[in-house]
C-alpha cells in the first residue's frame, strides 16, 4: 500500500511539474517581444471538444459510462500548448432488483446507485510527431474535481480532491483549421477512502475529439 501511494504521489508530481513548466514557458512566450516574421496563426488558441466513455474504473459501482470534456489551448514554441479544460466523467451505475413488498414478486431491475466526477484542470501538451495530415500528441493535466455518489437520485456521498491525468491524442488534420481524432487517457483523483472505501480513484477514458484553431486577423 505504501509503495502504491508513493507511485501515486510521483505521478501527481510529474503531472503538476509538466503543467507548471508549460504554464511558465507559455507565459514567457506570451510576454516576449514577437519577431517580425512570427506568424499570427502561431498564437491562435485551439478549441477542443471530446466525447466518449470511461472504463477500467476502480471503486463501486465501477461500470463506467459517458465522458465529455471541453477546453481551450494556446500553442507556443511551435510544438507545445497550454490551457485549461472542464470535464465530466460517468464512473458507473449500480443496479438493483425491485420486488413487491407484499408478494415478493420481481418487478424488474432499476438503477440504484450512480457515481460520477466533474471538475477542471490545467493542461499541457507536447507534439510527439507530425506529418502532412496526422499529428500525435502527449498531454498531462493537473486540477481539482468533485466526486458524487447518488442513491435513487439523492446525493449520498460527495468528496473533492486534487486530480492528475495523462494521455495520448491521435489527430487527423482536416481543412480550415479543423482536426478530428481519438484520445486515450488515464485520470487519478486523490480522495480519502477511510470513510468510504468504495470511492473511485482511478479510471481511463477513450474519446472522440474535435479541434479547431482559428487564425486571428493581423
pLDDT averaged over every residue in the chain: 85
Assigned domain for 54 exists: yes
> What CATH number did the domain enclosing 7 receive?
2.40.160.20
Span 110-132, average pLDDT: 92
Q: State the residue range of the domain holding 178.
A: 2-213
Q: How confident is the model at residue 203 (pLDDT cuts 50, 70, 90)?
A: very high
How confident is the model over 152-174, as a mean pLDDT? 92
| Secondary structure class of 132 (helix, strand, coil) | coil
Spatial CB neighbours of 163, under 8 Å, sequence gap ≥ 6 = 117, 119, 121, 141, 142, 143, 144, 145, 187, 188, 189, 190
All three cell numbers of 61, joined, read: 459501482
Q: What is the pLDDT averaged over residues 14-35?
A: 60
Look at residue 153 and tell me if it is in a domain. Answer: yes
Nearest in space to 128 (alpha carbons), one of 118, 120, 136: 136
3-state secondary structure of 41: helix
User: How many domains does the chain contain in total?
Assistant: 1
The confidence score (pLDDT) of residue 41 equals 43
Task: Please report whether residue 128 resides in a domain.
Answer: yes
* Residue that wins the pLDDT comparison between 103 and 33: 103
CB 45 within 8 A of CB 76: no
DSSP 8: H
Q: Please provide the distance, in angstroms rounded to a whole number, between the alpha carbons at the two ends of the chain.
A: 56
Average pLDDT over residues 96-104: 76
**pLDDT of res. 36:** 41
The pLDDT, as a whole number, for residue 211 is 97
In a domain, residue 188? The reply is yes
Evaluate whether residue 145 is within a structural domain.
yes
* Domain assignment present for 88: yes
Is the residue at 218 inside a domain? no
Tell whether 176 is covered by a domain: yes
If residue 25 lies in a helix (H) or strand (E), which one and from where to where? helix 2-31
pLDDT of residue 156: 85
With beta carbons less than 8 A apart as the criterion, state whether 20 and 121 touch.
no
Q: Residue range 81-85: average pLDDT?
A: 96
Contact 61, 93 (CB under 8 A): yes
User: Looking at residue 144, what is its pLDDT?
Assistant: 97
* pLDDT in the model for residue 113: 92
Q: What is the pLDDT of residues 128-144, one digit of tens each?
A: 999 999 999 999 999 99
Amino acid at each position: 500500500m505504501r509503495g502504491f501511494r508513493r507511485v501515486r504521489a510521483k505521478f501527481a508530481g510529474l503531472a503538476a511539474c509538466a503543467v507548471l513548466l508549460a504554464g511558465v514557458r507559455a507565459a514567457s512566450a506570451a510576454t516576449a517581444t514577437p519577431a517580425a516574421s512570427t506568424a499570427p496563426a502561431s498564437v491562435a488558441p485551439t478549441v477542443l471538444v471530446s466525447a466518449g466513455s470511461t472504463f477500467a474504473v476502480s471503486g463501486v459501482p465501477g461500470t463506467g459510462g459517458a465522458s465529455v470534456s471541453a477546453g481551450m489551448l494556446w500553442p507556443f514554441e511551435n510544438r507545445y500548448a497550454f490551457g485549461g479544460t472542464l470535464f465530466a466523467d460517468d464512473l458507473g451505475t449500480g443496479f438493483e432488483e425491485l420486488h413487491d413488498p407484499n408478494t415478493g414478486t420481481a418487478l424488474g431491475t432499476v438503477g440504484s446507485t450512480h457515481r460520477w466526477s466533474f471538475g477542471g484542470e490545467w493542461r499541457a501538451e507536447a507534439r510527439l510527431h507530425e506529418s502532412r495530415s496526422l499529428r500525435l500528441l502527449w498531454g498531462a493535466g493537473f486540477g481539482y474535481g468533485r466526486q458524487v455518489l447518488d442513491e435513487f437520485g439523492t446525493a449520498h456521498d460527495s468528496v473533492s480532491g486534487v486530480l492528475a491525468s495523462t494521455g495520448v491524442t491521435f489527430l487527423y488534420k482536416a481543412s480550415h483549421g479543423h482536426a478530428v481524432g481519438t484520445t486515450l487517457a488515464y485520470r487519478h483523483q486523490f480522495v480519502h477512502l477511510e470513510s468510504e472505501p468504495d470511492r473511485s480513484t482511478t479510471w481511463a477514458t477513450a474519446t472522440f475529439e474535435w479541434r479547431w484553431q482559428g487564425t486571428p486577423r493581423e
